[in-house]
Amino acid sequence: MYVAAKGGEKAIRNAHALLAKRRRGNRNLPSIGLDQIAQQLTLAVDRVMAEGSLYDVELAALAVKQARGDLIEAIFLIRAFRTTLPRFGYAKPLDTAGMQVRRRVSATYKDLPGGQLLGPTFDYTHRLLDTSLGQGGVGGEGHEGHAPATQPETSVEAEPMPRVTDLLGREGLIEGAPEDDGTEPFDLTRAPVSFPVDRSTRLQALARGDEGYLLALGYSTQRGYARSHPFVGEIRFGDVEVIFEAPELGFELSLGTVQITECQTVNQFKGSATTPPQFTRGYGLVFGQCERKAMSMALVERALRWQELGEEPGAPAQDEEFVLSHCDNVQATGFVEHLKLPHYVDFQAELDLVRRMRAEHEEERREAGLKEAAE
Amino acid sequence: MQPSLTHSTDGNAPPAGRQSAMALLARAESGELDAMLARLAPVPASADLRPPEIGLVMLRGRTGGDGAPFNLGEATVARAAVRLEGGATGFAYRLGRDASAARKAAVLDALWQDATRRPAVDEALDPIRARLAEEAVRLRAETAATKVDFFTLVRGED
């Protein structure tokens, strides 16, 4: 039973004032602008949008600032904000084949139409700290003479970039994606989830799930817990157009673009009585440039399909109810962190109980001792 | 990214070019919309059919990129609907939360529907069209500079 605690208003007010002061830090330093956060801490902003499940760069930057860089707190702020807005409707599914690609790599084909584009990546960096980023003077990043990225002068023709899975699919070597039969996908922001769920619901839950959690679960599948031998068929990151049919207009409108990361894994499948051996796939799709998350999502998504593919169950990453019930970091942090709020009455009850049990225990021991002495 | 939209899925097709004009108005910065309105002055007074408001649109992906849809996450959208004095009604839907930009875009959509003003509106969209095209070219060139040719080596195990 939860019993409310009252009081502490003044302390709470003062704590919040102190939080604001600490958040601001040394007032001799300029306050960080939201545009600076959006431009220079882009990947933090992307993660907040992905797990906050709300695409709005400026709001995510504000949340990062207000949360003092605590990304889960920032995600919480975004989730709370979204509940204040009306829902205008559902957009048409994003067309990732039509993406204006900023990065695109495949670990399965070295030569593929459209080519491999590394884009802005940490891959192949030496992971050495660059002290020049901390310097303001000559040689430092803040200095005008600091070398900017070379600007290629050549103009490049737009090239079509078919998804790798589409290439494999033409030969029938990989399973097709589940067909769009016109059914409206389940929306877990509108109705409670009850297990078992379909693949669309899993994808929605995973897309807003915690990156660290999905990383650990994805890692576990590689280490042998639900082993499915994945290859990264393709990762692409870039801009896609948002298309929405406004009810009052009756035709489709282009609302602008969002950045997303897509990961397609290609996994083993030995075939069944009805299906010849072919590759299977896992799918990851995330707001922003969140590559680790998109890959982890694809690994976990594939592991969750064990039943459909006739695989042996038993690994944590295959347990749909376990995976999906614990992937939301706002729910998780709410339940974990509520433990620090006053539980005085609960605890008093437990204290009384333990004291009583101890007294009884003592009594029993004393009686047993007397009995022994008498024998 | 430049808008690609040129089609409609049903019989309720808008006049040719309106979708692409609206796509540009959705991508214009607030200052660019101000510049357009200044360029097209005088603009008739407008009344709100629906006051500018901010809301959410649920974005969707497709399983495997081309399969059954799923709900990916929401995006903020600002929308507005206006009627020009003695003229057409205009609508706007834009990603983001700039309600006043949505209203300006709706006014420009209404102006576009006046056949006599349409050429001027289209012309006023040129700077936005040019900016988006330039951004796309630059992005493509920057990205193309990171194109790799991986090659595999035969290991000397004969």
pLDDT in tens, A250-295: 999 999 999 999 999 999 877 777 778 889 999 999 999 999 999 9
Model confidence pLDDT, tens digit, residues A149-175: 555 556 677 788 888 888 888 888 898
User: Do the Cβ atoms of A152 and B81 come within 8 Å?
Assistant: no
Beta bridge partners of A280: A267
Mutate to test the interface with B, among A124, A174, A253 (most CBs of B within 10 A): A253
| Cis-peptide into B14, omega within 30 deg | no
Q: Which residues of chain B have pLDDT under 50?
A: 7-9
Model confidence pLDDT, tens digit, residues A64-98: 999 999 999 999 999 999 999 999 999 999 999 99
Between CA B32 and CA B124 the distance in angstroms is: 9
Residue of A151, A192, A164 whose CA lies nearest to A325: A192
Structure tokens at B126: 């040129």
Q: Average per-residue pLDDT in chain A?
A: 92
ipTM of this model?
0.92
Tell me what pLDDT residue B6 has. 52
Mutate to test the interface with B, among A47, A51, A55, A186 (most CBs of B within 10 A): A55
Q: What is the pTM of this model?
A: 0.93
User: Do the Cβ atoms of A90 and B5 come within 8 Å?
Assistant: no
Residue of A293, A238, A284 whose CA lies nearest to A265: A284
Q: At CA A296, angle to CA A291 and CA A302, rounded to 5?
A: 130
Tell me what pLDDT residue A211 has. 98
- Identify the burial level of A298 via C-beta atoms within 10 angstroms of its C-beta, where 0-12 means exposed, 13-18 middle and 19 or more buried: buried
How far does A315 lie from chain B, in Å, by closest CA?
23
